[in-house]
Amino acid sequence: MLIKPYSRRINYYETDMMSIVHHSNYIRFFEEARCDFMEQIGCDVRALEDKGVSIAVVDAYAKYIVPLKFDDKVYITTKLTKMSAAKMEFEYEIRFADSDILATVGKTSHCCVNRSNKPMPIKKADANLYETLQNLI
């Protein structure tokens, strides 16, 4: 399955006093790209949550290589790199759309949890999603 990169433009409000993207926004960019990834593979995150299943962020990491600025056009590639019964890990690359220069790399780890925030096997939450994710590794 081919996952298309997620494209976006940097908004003015995402920048700080140094006119670069504030570091907290990179985690948001990763989340936007991850939600787009999930949509592309046919996962309805809202439907999962309606069933009482959440995909909680366990940790997040970003390495800033080249700063992003207002009006930059970028694309974010998202790759599922690890998966166990209830956990999954994604890696991200943010690149400038006009030059393909790498701006940021990152990683997030997630755990599938129930309404009580207890780990829940992904296969139990959604067997089709589990199979799809397995095929992407």
Active-site residue, 16 included: yes
DSSP sequence for the chain: -PPPPEEEE--GGGB-TTSBB-THHHHHHHHHHHHHHHHHTT--HHHHHHTT-EEEEEEEEEEESS--BTT-EEEEEEEEEEE-SSEEEEEEEEEETTT--EEEEEEEEEEEE-TTS-B--HHHH-HHHHHHHHHH-
Catalytic residue among 16, 36, 44, 98: 16
Report, as residue numbers or ranges, the catalytic residues: 16
